[in-house]
Structure 1
Amino acid sequence: MPRGKRRPHKATDVLAGKTRDLDLSDDDSYNDNASVISNISCSTSNEDRSCVATEDTDESQNDAFEEKLSDAIDGLSQKSAQGRTLSFEAICNIFCKKYIPDYILNRRMTIADAIERALKKGGDNEKAAAANLASLLCIQLGAIDITEDSYQELLSTLMFVVNDESVPLLAREKCCLAIALLTFISCNEEIDAAMQLMRNLWRRLLHSSTITSSVAALYSSALSSWSLLFSTISIRNSTIIPTLTELSTLLDSTHLEVRMVTGELITVLLEMTRDCEDMDEYEPDEEFINKLRELATDSQKYRAKKDRKTQRSNFRQILHYVELDEPPNIQIRFGQEILTMNTWTKKKQYDVLCQALGSGMNMHMTENDLVRDILNLGPKLCQTKLLSNKQSKLERQQINAANFKERTKTRGKVRDKRLAFID
């Protein structure tokens, strides 16, 4: 560009504009059409936009979730056996992670028919997945009285599968858990038949010296299911209480799961008999206590290290209760609440629910009315109450700072003692 034709500098234009504005009068400089925006209106509009965005996100997530669940339910009727199994597993994962009884209520007959069809004609993995879904379905709909008809339809099929020797052991094991949960939740008249079925299975352990691990898993599942149902009946009118000799034989099993479930049954049985009068015949003798003491201090090298650790930890608690009548004192924190288990019956019910729900147990303890009723957690906490109980960031920082200061003082004293010992 030639030197004589330079563009004017922007700063010059701005100054010139300001000069022109200063030459105007107040009346001329005021614009009637100019809008006035306050900081309050800006902040309010931002909050409204954020709330709307959050609601839109939640609605989109719910729509995507419902679409995924609807596709999985539709997949239960496809021709491919592998596809049906994957659909069963997908629904099980959703039922574990979310509590949606209202959504399931209108589709319960479709799901129950698919479960029954899979248990009768499905493959090995499909039957196991269908039995899992039966357990989760009754947990989801357990608080709704209208589901009792669905329970009756599934119970007969599940009992038939458990009795069928040709069915794979894994499917029969899952069916034992489903029968126990359906009977326990619905409290129907089939509890005697279910207990007799489970008893016929686990009593085979008394006459079997060597069994495989898969067979032991089936029998231990039957024994665990029988223990859960046994905790709901009146012990005085029961004629199927195992003797101490039978329990001692079960404790001699070479399989860890059988020994663990037997220990749980011993605590539930003693807890029920000690609450009644004139039932001292079920108090263990010295020989039986010595066997429990051996299991609590077992150090046999031919057993896995993890198995020995798990066995010793559980049987120490059992031994304390048998000898000293000390009930369990277990506290589990979930969210802003704490579950306290001070009876063996309550612990047994919690363990069975954990076995069915897996990683979704904490969510169901927070949201599921049935689970909260079983574990005596009371009504659900209000969301505003949960937010009010939550500590602020400043409070957490102050607590952490105080803990850090106390920890530093304690470590300093320990260091001083070490130096004095070295000198």
Structure 2
Amino acid sequence: MPRRNKKNTKNRGVDSNSEDDSYNDNVSVYSYASENAPSSVNDSDELSSNERFEEKFSQALENATEKSAQTRAMALQSICEILMHRYMPEYVEDRKMTLIDCIEKSLRRGKGAEQVWGARLAPLLVLQLNGDENILKALNQFLLTTVQDKTVSFDARAKCCTALGLLNFLSAEDIGEFLNLMQFFEGIFSGSYLRGDDKTPISVSAEAGTLHAEALSAWGLLLTVLPAGDFVSWMSSGQSMLPSFKRLMGLLQSPHLDVRVAAGETLALILECGRSHDEDFLEEYLGDLIDTVKQLATDSHKYRAKRDRKAQRATFRDVLHYLEEDISPEINIRFGNECLVLDSWAIHHQYAALCAVMGPGMSSHLQENDFVRDIFQLGTKLNVTNELGKGKQSKLERHLMNAAAFKARTKSRGKNRDKRTAVFT
């Protein structure tokens, strides 16, 4: 299959488990030297920074095999934080088998925080190593087994869903396997479906709601690489391989904010994918959907937390604008002298999925990580030193570059979408 349709979703925020407060060494990572500084000083600073990170990484990797569960969990957290902020593929390549072993043991034998950080490490390792297919297959099995184990905490299972969705999105090889995994995810978030009497299930806790939301987001991420024509055919025919649109609409009534937001973004994503192939896709549901989204976009119920109401209204205003005007939210992500334009629900979704893994290091990887740049079709990474020497681009130059990138990306999406086909027997 050709390289996937590079889009993304709405930036629902960087992972809430922020490491900013506990990680103090990243100043040297983000700070680019003054253009007036001698190059030898810059090289020396970069070398010493690399050595510090490698030393910390080696120590954390050693601690990840200690007997104390707390020590192992803290070591995995430290490894994740380093890989979030630093692109170091050669160094990681030499230690990949040890890292895979750490992930497997943390998921199989660990508990709580150790499993959470083990699951978060899996996609970080793959993103460092340019989507190594052998690693993807090995990690997939560990993650699937952990998600299916109901004795594992909801938080750890949720992180495994996030990792599974991202790993399979990065592989983009087999549509049949995609559909099997999407059905697996539906089996999880179906726990938040409305009951037969159209009442919300009362047995879903806040922790279970988080798991359902992550499974739904992972389902949506895989949707962004399905051929639009095939997807429309499957949804329109009511085949059981995909959930019904009406049932997904019912998730908007969930008592949990994470589920409502994930459902709203996924519904917009479904319509965007379908409309690219059929302008009247699921038109019969549009009236009821708009009414429900309007209520959520203006929700002022006092029993909801103020922060929750604000986040919900912001999300559903964008969804409503798309449903009524067919206009997707557009966000410009600036990093260094470049800019990534998030101009569709699909590319928002992809960007948010990577942000959930990369955290505050996303900007650094957009600049340095060739694999991440390939996902968003950013081309060859820029030479920072040369760009600094040239001076700041004018507003017109930036506009022309973004317009050219947008045009090229749109043409590429259309070609890739038309060429993909899936055959089922």
The residue aligned with 1:344 is: 345
Whichever residue aligns with residue 193 of structure 1, its letter is N
Q: Does 1:90 align with 2:78?
A: yes
Query: Helix, strand or coil for the counterpart of 1:280?
Result: coil
Distance in 2 (alpha carbons) for counterparts of 1:361 and 1:60: 22
* Structure with the larger helix share: 1
Distance in 2 (alpha carbons) for counterparts of 1:380 and 1:285: 42
The residue aligned with 1:161 is: 146
The residue aligned with 1:116 is: 104
1:59 Cα offset (Å): 2.7
1:283 Cα offset (Å): 5.1
The residue aligned with 1:362 is: 363
Q: Is the 8 A contact 1:78 1:84 kept in 2?
A: yes
Q: Superposed, which structure 2 residues align to 1:5-154 within 5 Å?
A: 52=40, 54-143=42-131, 147-154=132-139
1:51 Cα offset (Å): 5.3
Classify 1:360/1:283 alpha carbon distance in 2 versus 1 (closer, same or farther; 3 Å): farther
Q: Is the 8 A contact 2:57 2:79 kept in 1?
A: yes
Q: Does 1:230 align with 2:223?
A: yes
Distance in 1 (alpha carbons) for counterparts of 2:73 and 2:169: 26
Distance in 2 (alpha carbons) for counterparts of 1:213 and 1:56: 49
1:279 Cα offset (Å): 5.7
Distance in 2 (alpha carbons) for counterparts of 1:388 and 1:381: 12
Query: Helix, strand or coil for the counterpart of 1:292?
Result: helix
The residue aligned with 1:197 is: 184
Provide the alpha-carbon RMSD of the alignment: 2.1
Distance in 1 (alpha carbons) for counterparts of 2:272 and 2:280: 11
1:379 Cα offset (Å): 1.9
- 1:145-181 Cα distance to aligned partner (Å, 9 max, x none): xx21111111111101101111111110110011111
1:106 Cα offset (Å): 1.5
The residue aligned with 2:288 is: 287
1:250 Cα offset (Å): 0.4
Q: Is the 8 A contact 2:146 2:157 kept in 1?
A: yes
1:280 Cα offset (Å): 3.0
1:287 Cα offset (Å): 2.1
Larger Rg over CA atoms = 1
Count residues with an aligned counterpart. 342
Whichever residue aligns with residue 332 of structure 1, its letter is I
Q: Does 1:211 align with 2:204?
A: yes
Whichever residue aligns with residue 139 of structure 1, its letter is L
Name which of structure 1's ranges 375-384 and 132-141 shifts more when overlaid on structure 2: 375-384
Q: Does 1:181 align with 2:166?
A: yes
1:60 Cα offset (Å): 3.0
The residue aligned with 2:379 is: 378
Greater relative contact order structure (CA < 8 Å, 6+ sep)? 2
1:57 Cα offset (Å): 4.0
Distance in 1 (alpha carbons) for counterparts of 2:94 and 2:274: 44
Distance in 2 (alpha carbons) for counterparts of 1:281 and 1:64: 55
Distance in 2 (alpha carbons) for counterparts of 1:350 and 1:107: 28
Structure 1 segments unaligned to the other structure (5+ residues): 1-48, 396-423
Structure 2 segments unaligned to the other structure (5+ residues): 1-36, 196-200, 395-425
Q: Is the 8 A contact 2:165 2:222 kept in 1?
A: yes
Query: Where do 4+ consecutive residues of structure 1 move more than 6 Å?
Result: none
- 1:61-106 Cα distance to aligned partner (Å, 9 max, x none): 3222212111111222222211111110010000011011111112
Distance in 2 (alpha carbons) for counterparts of 1:363 and 1:289: 39
The residue aligned with 2:354 is: 353
The residue aligned with 1:40 is: none
Normalising by structure 2, we get a TM-score of 0.76
1:389 Cα offset (Å): 4.5
Q: Is the 8 A contact 2:271 2:281 kept in 1?
A: no
Distance in 2 (alpha carbons) for counterparts of 1:359 and 1:54: 23
Query: Helix, strand or coil for the counterpart of 1:328?
Result: coil
Q: Is the 8 A contact 1:228 1:348 kept in 2?
A: yes
Distance in 1 (alpha carbons) for counterparts of 2:40 and 2:390: 26
Distance in 2 (alpha carbons) for counterparts of 1:339 and 1:73: 34
The residue aligned with 1:406 is: none
Q: Is the 8 A contact 1:369 1:380 kept in 2?
A: yes
Distance in 1 (alpha carbons) for counterparts of 2:324 and 2:358: 33
Distance in 2 (alpha carbons) for counterparts of 1:237 and 1:140: 37
1:242 Cα offset (Å): 3.0
1:371 Cα offset (Å): 1.6
- 1:96-119 Cα distance to aligned partner (Å, 9 max, x none): 110111111121111001101111
Whichever residue aligns with residue 198 of structure 1, its letter is F
Normalising by structure 1, we get a TM-score of 0.76
1:227 Cα offset (Å): 0.5
Classify 1:56/1:328 alpha carbon distance in 2 versus 1 (closer, same or farther; 3 Å): closer
Q: Percent identity?
A: 38
Distance in 2 (alpha carbons) for counterparts of 1:100 and 1:78: 24
Distance in 1 (alpha carbons) for counterparts of 2:126 and 2:233: 28
Name which of structure 1's ranges 260-269 and 244-253 shifts more when overlaid on structure 2: 244-253
1:232 Cα offset (Å): 1.1
Distance in 1 (alpha carbons) for counterparts of 2:164 and 2:273: 23
Distance in 2 (alpha carbons) for counterparts of 1:335 and 1:154: 33
Distance in 2 (alpha carbons) for counterparts of 1:77 and 1:366: 33
Q: Is the 8 A contact 1:142 1:186 kept in 2?
A: no
Q: Is the 8 A contact 1:251 1:258 kept in 2?
A: yes
